[in-house]
Each structure stands twice: as C-alpha cells, then as structure tokens.
Structure 1
Amino acid sequence: MTKHHLELSGVEMSFDTPNGPFKALDNIHLHIERGEFVSLIGHSGCGKSTVLNVVAGLLQATRGGCVLDGREVNAPGPERAVVFQNHSLMPWLTVFENVALAVRQVFRKRMGKREMTDWVHHNLELVNMTHAADKRPGEISGGMAQRVGIARALAMQPSVLLMDEPFGALDALTRAHLQDTLMGIQQELNSTVIMITHDVDEAVLLSDRIVMMTNGPAATIGEIVDIDLARPRDRVVLADHPDYVHYRQRVLRFLYEKQVFPSEHAPQTPPESSERETATDVLAEEI
C-alpha cells in the first residue's frame, strides 16, 4: 500500500455551542504528495482554516485524523510551519532576530552560533530581505514583513508549509511579487505547501491542485481540480492561455454555484460572460 506524504482521513470537526454541537467539517479525505502545492478555496465559513489547523496540530479532529510521514499529527511541531495573513513578527526584534528566534528553537542542539547566523542570512536571501536584516518590523512595509514571515517559516526546514491567506492584506503589485517569490522558492526547495486563498487567479497560478470546499455547516470537499500547467509559470504568458482560462472558469463556476445556488439543484451550465464577471465581482466582495 502506497504511503502518502500527508493524509487526512475521515476528518470531522464539531464544536460545542450554546445551541448544541456545530459540525464544521464532515468526512474530509485528502492525500498530498511531497513537493505538491495545494490550495484550499471556498466561501467564508466553509472550514478551510479548520482543515489547516488540524494539519498544524492546533485542533484535534472529532473523528478521523491527520498523518504526516506515517506519524499521527496531534500537536504543533516544527515540521509544520505556519504563515498567517498577519506576519506575526515580534515588533521589538529586528528582522534578523525574528528569524533567528525560530532557528534557535528548532536547531539549537544541532547548529553552532556561526552556522546559525549563516542559516538566517541564507533564508533572508531567499526572500530578498538581507538588506533589511537590522530593521524592526515597524520600519519596513507590510509586504517586506510578510517576506520575513515566510523566511522565518522556511528557516525551520518544515516538511509542510501551511499558509493562511498569506497575501490577502497586501496590495495587488506586492501580492504579485510575493507570489512570484513563493513560486521560485517552492520550485527550488521542492517544499510541500498547503495554502488557503480567496483569490482564484492566485490559486490557479500557484497550485498543482485546487481543493474546493462546499459551504458549511458540515463542509466537505466538493471538487478537486488538477492544474496541469508547466513550471516555471509566467503570469503574463498564462493570462490568455486556454488551459489557464479553463481552470479559472471551472473554479469560478464552482464558487458561483455554491454562492447563488446552494441547493443541489445548481444549473448545469455557467452564466453568460457578462453575468459571470458580475458574479466574480460579488464573490470578490463576499469572499
């Protein structure tokens, strides 16, 4: 029997509320191979962050569970690094010190001081932030701080990099630059990445697979799209590529139907072009 790098098997998650149990996730089955880039997408409240938190070990599934490299995940660990929408840097530490803090926690018994210093600089170089090593988070832009957050996660050498809308709070140009940076790093390091996003174009550009979640409560995986686009990927070249357009429309169709037609009686054909753009604009506001 083939073992996968990461497996979610029969994951259910319920929470106690004043009105009784609330089932957030129902029967989630997903396997991810080493080096794969997987995006989770769906409407707000569909359980994307809950899935990520189960993989991170921050939540224990009510039923089922997560297995990474043959070992059950039941607590946080350095082999699973998380990058949040907010960079979460320590404001009183410099850029270098923020990354070094994570490195010391993971490698303090395996690296000497000089080796640790070199490793921090190496990871800052990966995200083009060595020039700001002595600055504090308040002295750099939001995009630069998010790059430092990515460097801090990479410096832990995790088996899986978990990203919760890492570029959601950034302007379009900064977001595009960081997407390109992430693609380059992921290709160089062959990292396994699971990313939550609300951006359809981001999901198609970055992913090997897009996992689309149904609406909650009792959300589950509605559809998985394999993105068969050659790497490295160029956003400008792909913009009019027929396969890129097809994948984008397929994800938009799923989101549109879940938003406008939540019942099982969703239409079998997508709306006309002008209506589809309107639906996209609505989705942008609501998700």
Structure 2
Amino acid sequence: MAYLNISHVDKTFVTGSKRTEVLRDIRLDIAQGEFVSIIGHSGCGKSTLLNLIAGLTQVTSGAIKLDGYEVRAPGPDRAVVFQNHSLLPWLSVHDNVKLAVDKIFRGRKSRAERHEWILHNLDLVQMRHAADKRPGEISGGMRQRAGIARALAMEPKVLLLDEPFGALDALTRAHLQDAVMDIHARLGNTMIMITHDVDEAVLLADRIVMMTNGPAATIGEVLEVNLPRPRERIAAAADPAYLKARRAVLRFLYERHRFVEAAE
C-alpha cells in the first residue's frame, strides 16, 4: 500500500445554485520519503489538491489515506508551508516555532527537551542566529526559513509546500531550494510541493505531477525525474536527464495553454 494514497478524488465547490467542479478523478500514490512537485497553469486546482491532502478542505467524493488512515481533517501529521509565511508578527522566530512545538509535544517532552528541539529545527534551516528576532526584523527568505522550521518541528509525516518561494527574489529562492534539498536528504521526509517554476520542479522532485487545465482538472501526466541525488544546480542544469525532463514539462504546459487558447 502507498504511504499516501489519493483515490478517485473529486472536488466540487457549491455557492448558492452554482456548482464548480475543480478536480475530477485524481488518482496518485506517493511513497514514503518521496519528493513530488505538482505543476500546472493557474486555476488548475493545484492548491485545492494540497488543501485536500492537508485536510483543510473536504473531498466531494473519493478518499485520501495517509499511512493507512483516511484524511478527514487537519492534523499534525501534515504540515503546510504557504507562500505567505504566516508567522505571528509580535512573536520572535523562536516563539513562533515554540507555538507548534508546545502544541504537539507538551506532555511528551520536557521544557528543556522542547527548547532543544526548537533550536535543532532552527539549525536545520540555518536560523538559530535569528531566533530572538521578530518577523518584521528579518528578510522574506529568512521568514520562509522560520516557517519551514516551524513545520518541520511538528515532525509531520508529510510536508506540504504551497509555492513557498513564489514571492522571493531569484537568488533567495535558489538558496532556499538548496536548503530544502538538504533537509530532504538529511531527514528523508515525504514532501509535496506546488510550483509554477519548471526548473524548480525538475531540480527538487523525484516525480512531477502535471495537472490539466480547469475546471474539472485532473492529472495529465506524471514524469519521473531520473537525476541522481544529491543534486547540484549548476551541474544538474547541464545534465541530459535534467534537460529532457525540463523539455517534457514545458511541452506539456505549452500544449495545454495552446488547447485553452483554441477553445476560447
């Protein structure tokens, strides 16, 4: 059985008498420790799918199971990092992470153990030096690192990343991509990332899930990325396997865009 199983999932939103079918018959199995990127044009339901996995939205039909248990609501086994870091501005970086740690581990870890766990996770994202700073005192990239630290500190079974680097400049984005690859290599955790960036999808993922255009979007293709790990971005960019994967994703997205234009 797959670690994460998405079985014949449909999602329809109802507003008054209006029904909008966003996702139709989504079927996907994800292995433990796998890194999966989900890509597609705007409005194809990528974030809706992520919210379904997170339990923030209920499926209309079908089922999502994680480690054998059906997903029906949010839970600490699924942590989400959004494009907006969602840090509380009046708390320090340390205390933002502490909120999650205290909620999950109070009664399971002593105060000293929780403190060490917070620092450990800040170390993972190279943010211990900024532990006492508030979000308004640090850069956007550092705020995202803090958000990732908070998510990792929950020890989730799956880390869900919803375009977490979309608002960052190119250099900061590259540094954070490298940080995420390093964390994935060290922890071996399961990660699912929504992205619009083809190069980001190819560099980070084991597989790329390509969504068709909405409404009633579904999975069009799933591409295996046959690049050995660890990956170094400059070397990878010249690797034939990288270039082949990149072309395949661009071709899929271009064909979908052309199809939409022809239908208008």
> What's the TM-score bracket when you normalise by the shorter of the two chains?
over 0.9
TM-score, length-normalised on structure 2?
A: 0.98
In structure 2, distance between residues paired with 1:88 and 1:81: 13
Paired residue for 1:206? 204
Tell me the distance in 1 between the aligned counterparts of 2:169 and 2:228.
27
1:19 CA displacement: 5.3
Question: For residues 124 and 228 of structure 1, what CA distance do their matches in structure 2 show?
Answer: 31
- Give the secondary structure class of the aligned counterpart of 1:40: strand
Q: What amino acid is aligned across from residue 99 of structure 1 in structure 2?
A: V
Query: Is 1:77 the equivalent of 2:79?
Result: no
Q: 2:175 aligns with which of 162, 174, 177?
A: 177
Q: Aligned partners of 2:262, 2:33: CA distance in 1, in Å? A: 35
SS in 2 for 1:262: helix
Are residue 60 (structure 1) and residue 58 (structure 2) matched? yes
In percent, how many aligned pairs have the same letter? 63
Cα separation, 1, equivalents of 2:59 and 2:237:
39
Amino acid in the other structure paired with 1:102: A
CA distance in 2, matches of 1:228, 1:93: 42
Cα distance in 1 for residues equivalent to 2:143 and 2:171: 15
1:216 Cα offset (Å): 0.4
In structure 2, C-alpha distance between the alignment counterparts of 1:223 and 1:212, rounded to whole Å:
5
Equivalence for 1:196: 194
Instruction: Tell me how far 1:261 sits from its aligned partner.
Output: 2.2
Distance in 2 separating the partners of 1:120 and 1:147: 13
Flag the 1:237–1:130 CA change in 2: closer, same or farther, 3 A: same
My pick for the range that moved more, 256-265 or 176-185, is: 256-265
In the alignment of these two chains, the number of paired residues is 263
> 2-side partners of 1:65 and 1:141: how far apart?
39
Residue in structure 1 matched with residue 86 of structure 2 by the alignment: 88
Query: Which residue does the alignment assign to 2:243?
Result: 245
Q: Deviations over 1:251-270 (max 9, x none)?
A: 000000101123899xxxxx
Displaced runs of 4+ in structure 1, greater than 2 A? 17-20, 261-265
Q: Secondary structure at the match of 2:260?
A: coil
Could you tell me how far 1:202 is from its partner in structure 2? 0.1
1:231 to 206, 224, 229: 229
3-state DSSP of counterpart to 2:23: strand
1:108-127 Cα deviation digits (max 9, x unpaired) = 01010100000000000000
- Report how far residue 22 of structure 1 moved: 0.9
1:130-171 Cα offsets, whole Å, 9 max, x none, are 000100000000000000000000000000000000000000
Match of 1:46 in 2: 44
Distance in 2, Cα, partners of 1:185 & 1:211: 22
Deviations 1:10-60 (A, max 9, x none): 000001134521100000000100000000000011010111011000111
Q: CA deviation at 1:239?
A: 1.2
* TM-score, normalised by the number of residues in structure 1: 0.90
5+ residue gaps, structure 1, are 266-287
Structure 1 counterpart of 2:162, from 147, 164, 167? 164
The residue type equivalent to 2:190 in the other structure is T
Structure 2 gap ranges (5+): none
CA deviation vs aligned residue, 1:177-217 (integer Å, no higher than 9, x gap): 00000000001000100000000000000000000000001
CA distance in 2, matches of 1:228, 1:113: 44
2:145 aligns with 147
Instruction: Write the distance in 2 (CA, Å) between the matches of 1:109 and 1:219.
Output: 44
Which residue of 123, 126, 132 corresponds with 1:125? 123
What's the offset of the Cα at 1:243? 1.1
C-alpha distance in 2 between matches for 1:19 and 1:228: 47
- CA–CA separation in structure 2 for the residues paired with 1:17 and 1:112: 47
